[in-house]
Amino acid sequence: MKISILGCGWLGLPLARHFLQKGYKIKGSTTNKQKLSLLEEAGITPYLISLSPQIVGDIEAFLENAEVSIINIPPQRRQKGDTFHPQQIEHLLPYLQKADLKQIIYVSATSVYPELNKEVGEEEATRVANPALWDSEQLLQNTLKGKVCTLRLGGLMGDDRVAGKYFAGKKNLKTGGTPVNYIHRDDAIGIITKVIEQEIKNEVLNVVAPQHPTRKEVYLHQAQKYGFEAPTFVATTTDYKQVSTEKLRNLLNYTFQYPDPLNFK
């Protein structure tokens, strides 16, 4: 199997290493010149590619002979606005069309769901919730029909990412009662692997741990476990969403390594 991973960051690099262990041939991209040697040392064929939003770098060579392309470049909405990421995808589309790819995996996020105060499934995403991701999803799905699997990941945790640590010592947080929609990085990697092995295409899937403790439960548990100062919470009602993984579990028959965010490590 030959896979090109656009974006070898916190998720993409461990994902590439996982594929290498399976004997796959991996090309990986980074926007950081200093990181090229790190990719090469790992056994990844490295490429310096940026989408700004025009493509800078040898994208044709990056995609050449690949069977699968994984697009893992999260949009920077706060810095770039809602149109920048769709423009990145627009510039990428002609090269994806030209390449002889069997499958394209687009790493999206559950931020495309509005807070409806209930469990939400794949069909309840809206452009209003996250225009940058919504427009990018539509561009890929409509242009590359039959090849794209969109994975909407929850908040990525695991390894050096500890839920609640950023909020250590903060006071009077108002979101304590809302359910979390987290996914452990190991499960994200396992699910992406399953999607490739089962050749899942023309689908949109939520990638979230199936259990949803409250944010307060998770933060207090992690504070005790890792020894940082626990935040405090005020009793209030805050809008929320609880993202369903029923479709993913039925389609992939996937068993989560970390089904409960209280047990992430």
Q: List, for residues 141-183, the tens digit of each pLDDT value.
A: 999 999 999 999 999 999 999 999 999 999 999 999 999 999 9
CB atoms within 10 A of CB 50: 15
The 3-state DSSP composition of the chain as helix, strand, coil percent (nearest 5) reads 40, 20, 40
| 265 part of a folded domain | no
CATH code at position 15: 3.40.50.720
Residues 6+ apart with CB under 8 A from 166: none
Confidence of residue 79 (pLDDT cuts 50, 70, 90): low
Helix H segments across the chain?
12-21, 36-42, 59-63, 77-80, 84-98, 131-143, 185-197, 215-226, 246-252
Q: How far apart are CA 74 and CA 52, in angstroms?
A: 13
Sign, Cα dihedral of 114, 115, 118, 120: positive
- Residue 70 belongs to a domain: yes
Decide if 149 is inside a domain: yes
- Domain of 251? 2-157+183-212+242-258
Query: Quick check: 226 pLDDT over 80?
Result: yes
Q: Is 177 part of any domain?
A: no
Mean pLDDT of all residues belonging to the chain: 96
Number of domains the chain is built from: 1
Q: What is the pLDDT of residue 144?
A: 96
CB 84 within 8 A of CB 136: no
Q: Answer whether residue 176 is part of any domain.
A: no
The answer to whether position 6 is within a domain reads: yes
